[in-house]
Every structure is written in C-alpha cells, then in structure tokens.
Structure 1
Amino acid sequence: MNSLSRHVRNVRRVAGFTLVEVLVSIVVLSFGLLGMVGLQAGSLQANRDARLQSTAVVLARELAEMMRGNKDQALLATSPYLIGEISSNPLVPPTASYCLAIGQNCGTDKAAVAQAELTDWLARVSDALPGARVSICRDTAPFASDGTAQWTCTSTDNTDPILVKIGWSRPSLKTGDTTVQQASDRPSVVLPVTPGSTL
C-alpha cells in the first residue's frame, strides 16, 4: 500500500513537471515567432523599396527613349524636356500639353509632342512613386564628394550630359526606426541620357 501511494505521488510530480516544461517551451517558441514576424515585416519593406526602385529606373529609361525618339527637341539649348526640378504633387511640367490624348492632335509640332510626352510621363511618375520629385537637367557633377546623389544641377553648357534624377519618400529600413526619407533628401535614381547628335 505504501509503495502504491509513493508511486502515485511520483506520477503526480512528473505530470506537474511536464506541464512546466510545456509552458516554458511555449514561451521560448513565442519569442522565436516574434523575431520571425519582425524579419517578415523588414523583408516586406525591403521588397517594396526594391519594387519602387525598379519602377523608377524603368520610368527614367522610358523618358530617355522618348528623348532619343525626339532628339531634335532633346538637344536644343531650351529643350522642352529640360524642366529643372519639380516637386509639386502631382508633378506637372511648366508648360503642360495634352495633345497626345485621345481626340487631340499634336500635328507635326515636335515641341508640342515633347511637352505632351513629358506631361504624360510626369503624371505616371506621380502615380507610381509616393511623394515623387524629379529633376531633368544638364549636369556634370550629379554626386557630392561623399558619393551621394544631389539634386542641384551644376551645368550651363549645352554639350554637357542630360540627367534624369528621380526621388521619392521611403520609410527607413532600419529595425525600429520610424523616420521617413523624403524625396527632398536626395535622388534615388540618376540616369544619364544620350539623345544622340544632330546630323
């Protein structure tokens, strides 16, 4: 009888110890899951930033192709493509034109075509990139001494390269950092354009 009660007490003690083990393992597992959730959030944010970067590069290349297609206008000293810096929301060029819209006609006016292409392109940049800022200008020093891109354009010579600079607002990728890098801080994409040469 005495050994039976001792056996029952040992079984109860072991059963209680198993419950404590289960609770400790649940706590350890929950900490691991919290870490995974943090990594997932950071991964989603980095993925979004990479998608926006890719979109900006595609848009910049698209404008470069438009300028190559209308190189007579792109190479002018007062080219309609060279709009300087625009940060309004939505982005609108100094001289907006909608002659490429359905039911409209630009005719043979290449300057009107350039203005209409730029108007349409800036509208798409506004839609695709949050808080977008654009600069299209001639520049020989697009990067500061520390290697970061800068918005200011330093050239006044008509033979200097044309650069398309695009920036947008993006949250910090550092864990726990809630700051947002504004488009005004620096361009994220700087693309040189070579429209060609006049014959």
Structure 2
Amino acid sequence: MGQCCRGAAGFAMLEALVAIVVLAVGVLGVASLLLNSSRFTQQASYDTTAMQLATEMAERMRANPAVSQTGAAAEAVTPNRYFIDTATGQRPAVTAANSPYAVACAAASAVCARQLADFDVAEFWDRVTGALPGGRAVVCRDMVAYDQATGFSWACTPSTTGRLDDAPVVIKIGWISRLSGRTVAAQTDLADMATRPQLVIVATQGTVN
C-alpha cells in the first residue's frame, strides 16, 4: 500500500510540472501579443503626430507665400528658407526672445516674411526631432516624390524642365519605426531612417508657365 501511494504522488508531481509548462507558454504568448499591440499603438501615435506636424507646416507655408511660393528668378537669388533637411542642414537661430509672435517685426515686409519663415522652420525642426524617435524632416521641391520601383525616398528632384518653381513643394518626415524592432543605438545610419521617409505630403503645387 505504501509503494502504491508513493507512485501516485510522483504522478501528481509530473502533472503539476506539465501544467506549469503549459501555463508558462500561454503567458509568454499573451506577453508577446501585448508587446506587439503596444508597438502598433505607439507607431499609430507617431503616424498621427507626423501627419499633424506636416499639415501644420504646410499651412504655415501657405500663409507666407512671399517666401514659400517664390518664383524661379527669386529662388535663384534667395533660396527658399522653408527648404530644409534636419539631418544635414542647420536649424535657424531663432528663440522665443526674437520670435515674430512675441516681438512685432518693424522691418520691410520681405524681411519680416523671411523672419517668420525662419521661426516656422525652427519650431518645426524642434518638434520633429523632439516628438519622433530619430525624427528627420525634409522640405523641398520634388518632381518624383514616389517611384513605383523604389517607393518614397529622401532625395529631391527639383526640376525636369530647368525651372526652379515647376515642381511641387513636399514635406517628408521619417522616424525609427516601432514595427522594425530596431533602436536608435542599432541604427547604422540615423540620417537614412531605414532608406525612405514614412510620410510625404504636398505643401504647395508647382507651376509651369
């Protein structure tokens, strides 16, 4: 009778171990599901933030046509101050103290328009790089914003006719995707942002005369 009881006790222990293993597998599956759900949620948040930033910047550019919609001759002399690349360019030296929203501009209208553009760019620059992980933004004229073979790219093709104002002005934003599983430290080239931007919108249409 004692030997029988000892065997039953051992069998119960085996059942318990199997149950623990099954439970652990289930918990790991749920944990993986929650992790993926968190990544998708965070990526959706970044998508929304990028769209808001790009749309707001486009509206600011349309509100300042003296700078954002300059003609070919004007752009040849004074490059459009809205055209930037936060990975390779230089942020305008604008602070709250000399913000046109805080201090009224008393200079000529053309000077004030450029000052406003500098402030718009500086604020946009800070928000993109601050709100998005490894965030990068490019604003430029681009005739080929999307290629069927390669998709979106950071490169800009400003003209195919020789004019400077024939291409539309586009805003491109990219960041390190939460769906890629990569981190800032793992990026070999942060300026590339996995080769292509994740969001591209048209700010102003190009004109060909």
Task: Report the identity percentage.
Answer: 30
Distance of 2:52 and 2:144 partners within structure 1: 23
What does the per-residue CA deviation read over 1:133-173, in whole Å, with 9 as the maximum and x for residues that have no partner?
22111111112332521111112330321100111233553
Equivalent residues of 2:170, 2:201 under 8 A apart: yes
TM-score by length of 1: 0.77
What does the per-residue CA deviation read over 1:24-43, in whole Å, with 9 as the maximum and x for residues that have no partner?
11111111211222222222
Unaligned runs of 5+ in 2: none
User: Partner of 1:50 in structure 2?
Assistant: 44
What does the per-residue CA deviation read over 1:71-102, in whole Å, with 9 as the maximum and x for residues that have no partner?
2321014332123x2305xx743x43343267
User: Partner of 1:80 in structure 2?
Assistant: 81
User: Partner of 1:124 in structure 2?
Assistant: 127
List aligned pairs for 1:26-65, cutoff 5 A: 26-65=20-59
User: Partner of 1:106 in structure 2?
Assistant: 105
Computing the radius of gyration from Cα coordinates, the structure with the larger value is: 1
TM-score by length of 2: 0.74
List aligned pairs for 1:156-167, cutoff 5 A: 156=159, 157-167=164-174
Q: Aligned pair count?
A: 185
Unaligned runs of 5+ in 1: none
Partner SS, residue 151 of structure 1: coil
Distance of 2:90 and 2:105 partners within structure 1: 19
Distance of 1:102 and 1:139 partners within structure 2: 30
Task: Report runs of 4+ in structure 1 exceeding 6 Å deviation.
Answer: none
List aligned pairs for 1:166-181, cutoff 5 A: 166-170=173-177, 172-173=179-180, 180=187
- The 1:71–1:59 alpha-carbon spacing in structure 2 relative to 1, beyond 3 Å, is same
